[in-house]
Homo-oligomer: A and B are copies of this chain.
Amino acid sequence: MGKVFSTIEWKQGKVRLIDQTRLPGKLVYIDCKDIKPLWYAIRKLKVRGAPALGIAASLGVVLGLKDSTARNFSDFVKELDGIIRYLASARPTAVNLFWALERMKRTALKNAKRPISQIKKILLKEALSIMEEDKRACRRMATFGARLIRSGDRILTHCNAGALATADYGTALGVMYRAKQEGKDIKVYVDETRPLLQGARLTAWELLQHKIDATLICDNMAATLMAQGKVDKIIVGADRIASNGDVANKIGTYSLAVLADYHKIPFYVVAPVSTFDFALKNGRNIPIEQRDPREVAEICKKRIAPKGVKVYNPAFDVTPNALITAIVTEKGIFKRRPFSKTLRRLYV
């Protein structure tokens, strides 16, 4: 069971992306041959999802260096730093983006002695490795995560943590695809995920392609489903995870975690190790992106709220570790008992 589309690809010197803002109406690919349209694609969420952002950023470095005329390594690194700063400015929360940029920088520094033309090739190879590793990580997360799913489970998910958020078949959704492949019968409730409706537009679309029983709800309907005993598990992705297991993810995730706690429903996060930010002790210092008020006040470019009303539009929230049952990574399932102990084996 593979992907029927490629979220992000390197194709003849270009980064080919699905324009996710057009889904599910139209499946349109865009080719970025320069760094600027790629930056714009990231900012405007044409490509989104933490792992996919890591891949996009690393390929962005390759695009940015393509026309480099640097003759020595010191000039080359200056250019590289500028490119990294530029790409890092596209979106602030998903740490995979910064992780990938750092990895590209380290790779360049490790190869300082080589000719510039060769370093460029090595950097492309590194970016493609990041993509390949993400594919393998998806498969491993799915295999581990599927162990948590029983046949008959009714699973609630938020935003899109699927194939469209990764190079392969996703994090949270990958677990569901794998469970289905193993013959488990599942039913999925999909939060529409205001304001940008990634659940309604992207997750519902993916689930239908995988012939999984999918029911769309508004975000504010999740609680009543839980009260009716209709949700067995909640599974979401992550944009940044602190050392203690606090999780930043799409706005609305924290709300679900509190509701899950109240209704005694297990709450799982699925994310590759590249989503961990071990420099952060806890989630308090995760930068939260504030986005354009028009994303809330307008829908489909039509104004819905009266002129003059203020808008608060954070793109993410932070779920404290105490509300998370387990975090599934490509290195296994990490249960809360507490995370400060279990997660140590990822970085000690």
| Chain A interface residues (CB < 8 Å from chain B) | 24-25, 189-195, 197, 200-201, 204-205, 207-208, 213-225, 227, 251-252, 254-255, 258-259, 261-262, 296-297, 299-300, 302-306, 308-314, 317-318
Contact = CB atoms under 8 A, between A and B. Distances in A.
B302 A300 contact: yes
Contacts of A297: 200, 216
Contacts of A259: 255, 258-259
Q: How many monomers of this chain does the complex have?
A: 2
23 contacts: A24-B305, A192-B304, A194-B194, A197-B304, A200-B297, A200-B304, A200-B305, A201-B306, A205-B306, A214-B309, A216-B296, A216-B309, A216-B311, A218-B296, A219-B220, A221-B314, A224-B254, A224-B318, A227-B317, A255-B259, A258-B258, A258-B259, A300-B304
A219 B216 contact: no
A312 B225 CA distance: 10
Complex A-B, nearest 10 residue pairs according to Cβ-Cβ distance, in ascending order: A220-B252, A223-B255, A194-B218, A224-B317, A219-B220, A24-B306, A215-B310, A204-B309, A200-B305, A205-B306
Contacts of A24: 305-306
A contact face: mostly helix, strand, loop, or mixed: mixed
A297 B24 CA distance: 12
A308 B197 CA distance: 17
Nearest to A218: B194
A224 B314 contact: yes
A299 B220 CA distance: 16
B305 A204 contact: yes
Contacts of A310: 213-216
Contacts of A220: 191, 193-194, 219-220, 251-252, 255
A175 B118 CA distance: 71
Given A258-B258, A317-B223, A217 B311 contact: yes
Nearest to A257: B223
A224 to B, nearest CB: 4
Given A214-B310, A255-B255, A306-B208, A219 B194 contact: yes
